[in-house]
């Protein structure tokens, strides 16, 4: 299905239907990733329970160096 | 001890994590600084070029993370970033940084106060980055900010404390911790801030862009300790004329 991630449209493989699987798809399952799903910031528990549907707007964010 | 909201820290140096030459130097500088608090920004992950995670470099148990809302131009954007940061589950402190003017990186006072108010209502531990305006500092404190962070001078400028009069006013009036944040260049700037009675200093470029960041991190640690000791010791007042420290009896003339 097609979703928008970080303002870019991406086609996801059929088996990716949850945020948890989305993270695994990008190899980000063992690192701190902050997720906004359709405008809502998801806690780690919520990420594991949240399903993705076509057209979803997702932000995948991490901490970077800064002052 | 430095107390901010429910947090207590032994170090009065808060350290930024931006713009280090490489990860090894950063790690050594962080260690030399003996800081307890590290600041971070939030950024979209480049999914086509993921790269190493800066947080993975740290032993997170040794530090409290203080994410900032860098990039936000409005209160709404700052709140969005803060909520994302907290969703990570590893921090509930937030540095509200809403910049109004790119060349000076001075904070937008209106949006900063708005964001501060909203985030306080949502239960964050809020540390707003402010210009050195005593009235702005007072307003932030009245809203309930857990600490206030006036800039010594523009971010990364290395100008030190450009307005000691204002900074001292802010410190005098404040009933919450004052963390001097932005513009520190040399160790004496950090010591000066602490001598005025600031509770802590937050700096980044002064260390990360120094020729020897590791040595500078140690210098800043010592400067902040010295400034704090000096403040606690109670300095002599500055006066116009001399007060002799040696007896002035002129007995040597034959």
Q: % helix / strand / coil in chain A, to the nearest 5? A: 20, 40, 40
Q: What is the pLDDT of residue B61?
A: 82
d(CA A64, CA B40) in angstroms, rounded, equals 6
Tokens describing residue B49: 């070029």
Among the options B31, B73, B95, B221, which is catalytic? B95
End-to-end CA gap in chain B = 58
ipTM, interface predicted TM-score of the complex: 0.96
CA dihedral in degrees (B29, B34, B35, B39; nearest 10)?
20
- Is B173 catalytic? The answer is no
Per-residue pLDDT of chain B (254 residues; tens, 9 = 90+): 999 999 999 999 999 999 999 999 999 999 999 999 999 999 999 999 998 888 887 787 899 999 999 999 999 999 999 999 999 999 999 999 999 999 999 999 999 999 999 999 999 999 999 999 999 999 999 999 999 999 999 999 999 999 999 999 999 999 999 999 999 999 999 999 999 999 999 999 999 999 999 999 999 999 999 999 999 999 999 999 999 999 999 999 88
Q: What is the pLDDT of residue B239?
A: 96
Q: What is the pLDDT of residue B84?
A: 98
Cβ pairs bridging A and B (under 8 Å): 104
Least CA distance to A42: which residue of chain B? B87
d(CA B96, CA A52) in angstroms, rounded, equals 31
Q: B17 in contact with A at a CB cutoff of 8 Å? A: yes
- pTM score, two decimals? 0.95
């Amino acid at each position: 299905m097609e979703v928008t991630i970080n303002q870019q449209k991406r086609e996801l493989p059929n088996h990716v239907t949850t945020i948890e699987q989305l993270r695994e798809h990008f190899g980000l399952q063992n690192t701190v990733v902050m997720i906004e799903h359709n405008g809502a910031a998801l806690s780690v528990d919520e990420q594991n329970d949240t399903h993705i549907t076509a057209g979803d707007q997702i932000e995948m964010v991490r901490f970077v160096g800064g002052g | 001890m430095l107390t901010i909201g429910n947090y207590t820290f032994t170090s009065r140096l808060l350290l930024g994590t931006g713009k280090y030459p490489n990860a090894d130097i950063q790690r050594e500088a962080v260690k030399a600084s003996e800081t307890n608090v590290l600041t971070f920004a939030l950024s979209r992950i480049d999914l086509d070029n993921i790269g190493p995670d800066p947080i993975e470099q740290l032993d997170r148990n040794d530090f409290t993370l203080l994410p900032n809302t860098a990039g936000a131009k409005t209160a709404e954007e700052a709140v969005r970033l803060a909520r994302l940061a907290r969703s990570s589950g590893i921090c509930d402190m937030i540095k509200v940084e809403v910049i109004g003017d790119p060349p000076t990186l001075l904070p937008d006072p209106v949006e900063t106060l708005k964001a501060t108010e909203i985030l306080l209502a949502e239960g964050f531990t809020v540390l707003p980055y402010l210009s050195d305006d005593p009235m702005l500092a007072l307003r932030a404190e009245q809203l309930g900010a857990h600490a206030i962070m006036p800039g010594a001078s523009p971010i990364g400028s290395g100008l030190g404390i450009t307005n000691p009069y204002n900074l001292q006013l802010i410190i005098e009036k404040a009933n919450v911790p004052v963390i001097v944040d932005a513009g520190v260049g040399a160790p004496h700037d950090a010591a000066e801030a602490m001598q005025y009675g600031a509770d802590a200093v937050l700096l980044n470029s002064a260390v990360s862009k120094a020729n020897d960041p590791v040595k500078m991190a140690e210098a800043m640690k010592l400067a902040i300790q010295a400034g704090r000791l000096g403040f606690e010791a109670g300095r002599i007042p500055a006066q116009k004329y001399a007060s002799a420290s040696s007896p002035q009896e002129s007995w040597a003339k034959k």
